[in-house]
Structure 1
Amino acid sequence: MSIQKIARLAGVSVATVSRVLNNQGTVKPQNRERVLSAIKESNYQPNLLARQLRTARSNMLLVMVSNISNPFCADVVKGIEAEAESNGYRILLCNSGSDVKRSQSSLQLLSGKMVDGVITMDAISALPQLSTLIADAPWVQCAEYDEDSSVSSVGIDDYQASRHVVGQFIAAGRRNVAMINHDLTYKYARQREQGYRDMLQEHQLDGFPVEYAAELSFNAGKTAMQNLLAQPVRPDAVFAISDTLAAGAIRAIDEAGLRIPQDIAVIGFDGTELGEMTSPQLSTIEQPSHQIGRQAVTLLLNKINDPAGPPERSRLAWRFVQRLSS
């Protein structure tokens, strides 16, 4: 099926079909709908190489995720993909594992003009190396950012969200509040820990030594909680910096014969569906994961269309979800 046949089927001009396919120019909503319906009906597949030669764009975006097994990252990618497709783009996904060498291999797609821009979710410690590799290509840093960077970014205020968690524990009369953190090379981990420490200090409460999970996994969360339970003083509340770690903590508490939240309250972070699967269901800070992904694409397309434009920084709203674990 050619573009000319699509035009005849939709009853519009070839130029109108071209504008719809390339997401360029102004098209009347009814004409756009007719073109899209004709494309769907005929199962039309545009010649991407021809389009790239014609427009100097590939209509492909590279998405580099540090850990795709993290439910939060997976949810963000879903938002990225949905917004990209609604704007006529496809995504290429790289599970970098925070490995700069693996990232370097994927980023060669930029120099080869195989992708038009990149969205990264790597630790902030990797940004200097990534900056060298990405250079002046359109780039958005997602859920992990540097306020002083020239790179556009989107995320939430992790510091204030963390303070809110500790405030919930304190308001409920908890005094021995522990924390399970992960990797401090990530800025979000440092901000959440700082919010935890500051809130305890302001209320003149002694914090536990922060327990650092070996990885962002259920088993690592369980092990971290077992270590906390082995302390001379048992915590009466635990703040885990991800729902995955919190789920592991809940299992450890249950296996120790303790009750949640009566003996130990637990609050997680991210707002993934995992929080509704635990027993009891998990209280958590809900990040707008899909919206973060969609906003990352919006910022990236702004940069693609206006390379000289200033960096944009979006901080989206989070919310606390109260469930039975706290």
Structure 2
Amino acid sequence: MSIQKIARLAGVSVATVSRVLNNSNSVKSKNRERVLEAIRESNYQPNLLARQLRTSRSSMILVMVSNIANPFCADVVKGIEEEAEKNGYRILLCNSGSDIERSKSSLGLLSGKMVDGIITMDALSNLPDLSTMIGQTPWVQCAEYADAGDVSCVGISDTEASEFAIRHLLERGCERIALINHDLSYKYAQLRERGYKTVLSQQGNSFEAIEYASELSFKAGKAAMENLLQAAAKPDAVFAVSDTLAAGAMRAIEDAGLKVPQDIAVIGFDGTELAEMVSPQLTTIEQPSRDIGRQAVSLLLRKIDNPQAPAERLMMDWRFIARASA
């Protein structure tokens, strides 16, 4: 399929098709959609190398995900891919595990100009090292963000969301609220723990029990809950920093012969599909995961078009979903 045939299918000029393929901002949105639809219908594969030689752009975005097995990360990537393809870009996915050596390997693509920009979901503690390696390449930090600096970011107010969850548990009569957290090298883990501690302190509640899961997995959440249940003063509620950890906690509670929420209420975080699959269904803080991904691409494309533009920080709305677990 040639570019000329794409133009005929879309009912536009060859020049318009070329501008869409080169991600030009001068194309009317209606014409862009017609061209992209013709491309999808015909499975057209442009010669990326030829385009790169003509435009000095690859129309590729490197996406570095800390843990693709995490349902939240997977949903964010879906949003990234949808928005990238809508704008004539494709993504290269790296499951970095927030490991700097693995990140270095993927960032080798920068030297060959194989990608036009980068979206990362790495831990905040890795940002200084990443910044050194990435240099001047357009970059957006997604979901895990910095409060200052030169990197554009998109996420939610983790502290505010966490505070809301703890207040909800206190209002329903819970007195011994535990937290299942993860790695504090992640900013979200720091902020969600801050929200937990702040509300308990404000309410004069002296009970504090925090378990740090070894990873964001069902198994790790179950193990963390088992540790909490061994304490002399068992919690009557648990707030977990991910739905996956919360699901593991619910299994541990059930295995101990206790009931959710009658004996122990449980709240998760992320609003993934898993929250509706467990029984009882999980009360959770829902992040707009796909929209976070889409907005990350929008921020990145603006940075690609204007590398000298200042960093942007976008805070998105979250939603509390009350279900049977709390």
1:294 equivalent in structure 2: 294
1:237-274 CA-to-partner distances (Å, cap 9, x unmatched) read 00011101000000010111111111110000010001
Distance 1:276 1:17, change over 3 A: same
Once the 2 structures are TM-superposed, how far is the Cα of residue 234 of structure 1 from its aligned partner?
A: 1.2
Report SS of the residue matched to 2:209.
coil
What does residue range 1-326 of structure 1 map to in structure 2 within 5 Å? 1-28=1-28, 31-326=31-326
1:186-241 CA-to-partner distances (Å, cap 9, x unmatched) read 11101100110110011010233311111111111111111111100111100011
1:262-301 CA-to-partner distances (Å, cap 9, x unmatched) read 1110000010001001110000000010011001001000
Question: Which amino acid in the other structure matches residue 251 of structure 1?
Answer: R
Q: Percent identity?
A: 69
Report SS of the residue matched to 1:98.
coil
Distance 1:51 1:174, change over 3 A: same
Report SS of the residue matched to 1:284.
strand
Report SS of the residue matched to 2:178.
strand
1:61-94 CA-to-partner distances (Å, cap 9, x unmatched) read 0000011001110010000000100000000000
Distance 1:127 1:10, change over 3 A: closer
Question: Which amino acid in the other structure matches residue 96 of structure 2?
Answer: S
Residue-pair matches, total: 326
1:7-47 CA-to-partner distances (Å, cap 9, x unmatched) read 34544322122122222143345544553454345432211
1:85-141 CA-to-partner distances (Å, cap 9, x unmatched) read 000000000000111011011011112100000000000000110011001110000
Report SS of the residue matched to 1:58.
coil
Question: Which amino acid in the other structure matches residue 208 of structure 2?
Answer: F
Question: Which amino acid in the other structure matches residue 301 of structure 1?
Answer: L
Once the 2 structures are TM-superposed, how far is the Cα of residue 53 of structure 1 from its aligned partner?
A: 0.6
Q: TM-score, normalised by structure 2?
A: 0.97
Counterpart-to-counterpart distance in 1, 2:224 and 2:29: 55
Question: Which amino acid in the other structure matches residue 213 of structure 1?
Answer: A
Once the 2 structures are TM-superposed, how far is the Cα of residue 2 of structure 1 from its aligned partner?
A: 2.2
Once the 2 structures are TM-superposed, how far is the Cα of residue 312 of structure 1 from its aligned partner?
A: 0.2
Once the 2 structures are TM-superposed, how far is the Cα of residue 5 of structure 1 from its aligned partner?
A: 3.3
Distance 1:254 1:126, change over 3 A: same
Counterpart-to-counterpart distance in 1, 2:42 and 2:277: 42
Report SS of the residue matched to 1:210.
strand
Report SS of the residue matched to 2:18.
helix
Distance 1:140 1:25, change over 3 A: closer
Distance 1:99 1:36, change over 3 A: closer
Conserved in 1, the CA contact under 8 Å of 2:174 and 2:237?
A: yes
Conserved in 1, the CA contact under 8 Å of 2:36 and 2:86?
A: no
Q: Which has the higher mean CA deviation after the structures are superposed, 170-179 or 31-40?
A: 31-40
Q: Which has the higher mean CA deviation after the structures are superposed, 1-10 or 106-115?
A: 1-10
Counterpart-to-counterpart distance in 2, 1:213 and 1:264: 19
Counterpart-to-counterpart distance in 1, 2:288 and 2:175: 30
Conserved in 2, the CA contact under 8 Å of 1:271 and 1:287?
A: yes
Conserved in 1, the CA contact under 8 Å of 2:177 and 2:209?
A: no
Q: Which runs of 5+ in 2 are unaligned?
A: none
Question: Which amino acid in the other structure matches residue 109 of structure 2?
Answer: L
Conserved in 2, the CA contact under 8 Å of 1:197 and 1:207?
A: no
Distance 1:100 1:33, change over 3 A: closer
Counterpart-to-counterpart distance in 2, 1:260 and 1:8: 61
Q: TM-score, normalised by structure 1?
A: 0.97
Q: Which has the higher mean CA deviation after the structures are superposed, 70-79 or 35-44?
A: 35-44
Distance 1:25 1:321, change over 3 A: closer
Counterpart-to-counterpart distance in 2, 1:30 and 1:298: 18
